C-alpha cells in the first residue's frame, strides 16, 4: 500500500515542483492500494504544486474517480465549455479556464490546452497511455486536419445566457495515439509510482514535436491497419483534401477498378477519398446494357453517397445511337466518352441532346488520332476533346509522352488523362512500371495546371485494387 507522501515523492522525482501547471490523465486502480483513496492522490499533487501551482483534469465525461475528486472540490474551477471541459484547482485556474467556450475550437488556440503549454506546463499520464492524452487532439486542431469534424452544443454561458454554438476541428473516432511514445520521448520523463507507470510530458515540447511531424505527415496519429474502418476513412479524407488543395485536376476512378457491385464500388471510393466515378462496367457488364430503371437507381445511390459521375465510357457504339443517348440523358449522365473510331454520329447526337462528349484513342498512332479528332471537330458544332489513353498509344508502338503527346499536339484538345500503364506486349502494369510514361504525363499536366479529369484505371484494366492504384498514384505525386 502506498500513501500520499509516497505519491508526492514520486512526482518530485519525475521533476514536478512548486508552482508548476499540470494536466492529469489518470487511473486510480493503476496505483494499487492507496491509503486515503482518491483524495490522497489529489492532495499529493496539490502538495507538490503548492498554492503557486495549478492542477487540471478532464471532466467532459465519466473519466474516472480522480477527475471526479477534483471536479467536486469546492475550490475547483470548471472551464465553461460543454465539450473538452476541464476542472482546475490552483493559482492559475481561473485564467487557464477563462472563456473556453468562446474559442473557435474545443482543443485549439485560446483554450486551456494551449495555455498550459504557453505557461510551460506539463501533461501527466498516471497509469494510462497516450490514448488518454487529450492534448494530442489539440495538436490535430491546430493542424486543421481534414478528417476532423464539427460539434454543436446548446448550453448556458457563465452569464446565464442559453446559446447554441459549433466548434470546428473536433475529433472523432479511433486514433493511434499509443504509437506516439517514441516520437515524444525527448519531451517525456518516465517513472513508477506504486504499480503505475507515469509519464510527465513537457507540453510545449509536445506541441513543437507533434506539430512539426504533423505538418509533413497529416496521418501521423492514424494507424495503417486496413481493417480499421475509422483510420481508413480518415486517411481518405486527408487524400481528398490534398487533391482539392494542391491540384487543379479532378480525380476519378473507373467503376470496374473500384469494384463489381455498386455498394462495393461506393465503399471503395469513399475509403480511397475519391469523389468521382467513371461508369464503364457494373457487375461485369457494360453500363449501357442495364435497363434505365436499374441504372437510374444505381446513379441515385452514388449521388446519395456524395459520389458524382464524371463520365460514362462506351468501348463500342451500338447501332441504336439514339437509344444510347436517350439512356444517358434519362438517368442523368452528363458526359460520354466514345472511341475515336467511327463515333461521329453518336457524338453529334449526344451533343445535340446537351451531353458533353470526348473521344478516347484506341490503338491509332498519334498523327492519325489527331487527324481523326480534327475531322470530327471540324464537322461538329461542339469542339470535342480528347481523352488521352497512354496504353492505346503503347499498343500503336509509340512512346506516349516523348512521341504521341507532342506529335498529336494534344495539349490543345486534352479533356482527360487515363491513368494506367502497360508494356509493349499489352500487359497491364502498376503506374510507372510499364511503357506508358504515365509519370511524365502527369507531371507535365500538373505544370500546366490541367483542370480536366485524371481517371484511375480509365479505359483499361489495372493490376491491383483501387486502394493500390491510389497508393501508386500518391507515390508518383510525392516523387515529382
Q: Are residues 78 and 128 in the same domain?
A: yes
Q: Are residues 139 and 281 in the same domain?
A: no
pLDDT of residue 383: 76
Q: Is residue 255 included in any domain, yes or no?
A: yes
pLDDT of residue 62: 82
Give the domain-ending residue among 194, 216, 238: 216
Instruction: Dump pLDDT digits (tens) for 360-399.
Output: 999 999 999 999 888 877 776 667 899 999 999 999 999 9
| Cβ density class 190-213: b for 16+ within 10 Å, e for less | eeebbebebbbbbbbebbebbeeb
Q: Is residue 239 included in any domain, yes or no?
A: no
Instruction: Dump pLDDT digits (tens) for 2-13.
Output: 999 999 999 999
Q: How far apart are CA 265 and CA 351, in angstroms?
A: 29
| Cβ density class 66-96: b for 16+ within 10 Å, e for less | bbebbbeeeebbbbbbbbbbbbbbbbbbeeb
Q: Give the CA diameter of the chain.
A: 93
Q: Is residue 241 included in any domain, yes or no?
A: no
Q: Are residues 177 and 267 in the same domain?
A: no
Q: Are 201 and 248 a contacting pair, CB within 8 Å? A: no
Q: Are residues 185 and 274 in the same domain?
A: no
Global pTM reads 0.90
Q: Is residue 151 included in any domain, yes or no?
A: yes
Q: Are residues 327 and 203 in the same domain?
A: no
Three-state DSSP at 257 gives helix
- What's the domain count of the chain? 2
Q: Are residues 131 and 268 in the same domain?
A: no
Q: Is residue 56 included in any domain, yes or no?
A: yes
> What is the full per-residue pLDDT of the chain (480 aa) written as tens digits?
999 999 999 999 999 999 999 999 999 999 999 999 999 999 999 999 999 999 999 999 888 899 999 999 999 999 999 999 999 999 999 999 999 999 999 999 999 999 999 999 999 999 999 999 999 999 999 999 999 999 999 999 999 999 999 999 999 888 899 999 999 999 999 999 999 999 999 999 999 999 999 999 999 999 999 999 999 999 999 999 999 999 999 999 999 999 999 999 999 999 999 999 999 999 999 999 999 999 999 999 999 999 999 999 999 999 899 999 999 999 999 999 999 987 888 889 999 999 999 999 999 999 999 998 888 777 766 678 999 999 999 999 999 999 999 999 999 899 999 999 999 999 999 999 999 999 999 999 999 999 999 999 999 999 999 999 999 999 999 999
Q: Is residue 232 included in any domain, yes or no?
A: no
Q: How far apart are CA 393 and CA 124, in angstroms?
A: 62
pLDDT of residue 380: 67
Range of the domain at 117: 4-216
Q: Are residues 359 and 456 in the same domain?
A: yes
Q: Are 70 and 57 a contacting pair, CB within 8 Å? A: yes
Q: How far apart are CA 227 and CA 225, in angstroms?
A: 5
For the record, the C-alpha cell of 346 comes out as: 453518336
**H-state helical runs in 72-169:** 93-97, 112-118, 135-143
Give the domain-ending residue among 200, 216, 232: 216
CB atoms within 10 A of CB 395: 17
Q: Are residues 315 and 253 in the same domain?
A: yes
| Cβ density class 158-175: b for 16+ within 10 Å, e for less | eeeeeeeeebebbbeebb
Q: CB-based contacts of 29: which residues, under 8 Å, 6+ apart? A: 127
Q: Are residues 15 and 124 in the same domain?
A: yes
pLDDT of residue 61: 84
CATH number for the domain including 385? 3.20.20.150
Q: Are residues 73 and 170 in the same domain?
A: yes
Amino acid at each position: 500500500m502506498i500513501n500520499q507522501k509516497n505519491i508526492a515523492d514520486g512526482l518530485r522525482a519525475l521533476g514536478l515542483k512548486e508552482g508548476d501547471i499540470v494536466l492529469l490523465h489518470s487511473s486510480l486502480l493503476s496505483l494499487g492500494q492507496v491509503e486515503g483513496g482518491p483524495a490522497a492522490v489529489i492532495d499529493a499533487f496539490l502538495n507538490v504544486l503548492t498554492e503557486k501551482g495549478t492542477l487540471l483534469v478532464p471532466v467532459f465525461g465519466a473519466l474516472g474517480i480522480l477527475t471526479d475528486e477534483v471536479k467536486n472540490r469546492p475550490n475547483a474551477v470548471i472551464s465553461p465549455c460543454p465539450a473538452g471541459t476541464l476542472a482546475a484547482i490552483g493559482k492559475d485556474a481561473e485564467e487557464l479556464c477563462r472563456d473556453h467556450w468562446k474559442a473557435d475550437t474545443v482543443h485549439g488556440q485560446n483554450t486551456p490546452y494551449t495555455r498550459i503549454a504557453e505557461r510551460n506546463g506539463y501533461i501527466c499520464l498516471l497509469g494510462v497511455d497516450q490514448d488518454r492524452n487529450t492534448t494530442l487532439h489539440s495538436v490535430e486542431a491546430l493542424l486543421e486536419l481534414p478528417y476532423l469534424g464539427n460539434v454543436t452544443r446548446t448550453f448556458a454561458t457563465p452569464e446565464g445566457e442559453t446559446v447554441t454554438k459549433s466548434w470546428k476541428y473536433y475529433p472523432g473516432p479511433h486514433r493511434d495515439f499509443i504509437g506516439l511514445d517514441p516520437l515524444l520521448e525527448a519531451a517525456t520523463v518516465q517513472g513508477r509510482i506504486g504499480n503505475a507507470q507515469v509519464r510527465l510530458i513537457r507540453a510545449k515540447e509536445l506541441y513543437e514535436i507533434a506539430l512539426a511531424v504533423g505538418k509533413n505527415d497529416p496521418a501521423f496519429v492514424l494507424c495503417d491497419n486496413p481493417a480499421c474502418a475509422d483510420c481508413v476513412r480518415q486517411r481518405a479524407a486527408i487524400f481528398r483534401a490534398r487533391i482539392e488543395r494542391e491540384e487543379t485536376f479532378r480525380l476519378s476512378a473507373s467503376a470496374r477498378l473500384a469494384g463489381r457491385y455498386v455498394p462495393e464500388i461506393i465503399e471503395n471510393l469513399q475509403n480511397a477519398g475519391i469523389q468521382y466515378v467513371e461508369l464503364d462496367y457494373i457487375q461485369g457488364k457494360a453500363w449501357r446494357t442495364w435497363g434505365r430503371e436499374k441504372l437510374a437507381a444505381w446513379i441515385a445511390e452514388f449521388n446519395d453517397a456524395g459520389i458524382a459521375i464524371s463520365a460514362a465510357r462506351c468501348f463500342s457504339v451500338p447501332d441504336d445511337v439514339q437509344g444510347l443517348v436517350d439512356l444517358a440523358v434519362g438517368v442523368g449522365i452528363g458526359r460520354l466518352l466514345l472511341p475515336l473510331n467511327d463515333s461521329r454520329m453518336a457524338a453529334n447526337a449526344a451533343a445535340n441532346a446537351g451531353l458533353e462528349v470526348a473521344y478516347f484513342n484506341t490503338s491509332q498512332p498519334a498523327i492519325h488520332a489527331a487527324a481523326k479528332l480534327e475531322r470530327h471537330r471540324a464537322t461538329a458544332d461542339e469542339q470535342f476533346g480528347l481523352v488521352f489513353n497512354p496504353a492505346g498509344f503503347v499498343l500503336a508502338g509509340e512512346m506516349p509522352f516523348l512521341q504521341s503527346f507532342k506529335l498529336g499536339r494534344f495539349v490543345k484538345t486534352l479533356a482527360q488523362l487515363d491513368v494506367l500503364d502497360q508494356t509493349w506486349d499489352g500487359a497491364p502494369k502498376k503506374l510507372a512500371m510499364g511503357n506508358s510514361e504515365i509519370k511524365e504525363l502527369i507531371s507535365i499536366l500538373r505544370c500546366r495546371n490541367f483542370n480536366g479529369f485524371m481517371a484511375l484505371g480509365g479505359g483499361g484494366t489495372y493490376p491491383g485494387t483501387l486502394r493500390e492504384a491510389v497508393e501508386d498514384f500518391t507515390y508518383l505525386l510525392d516523387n515529382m
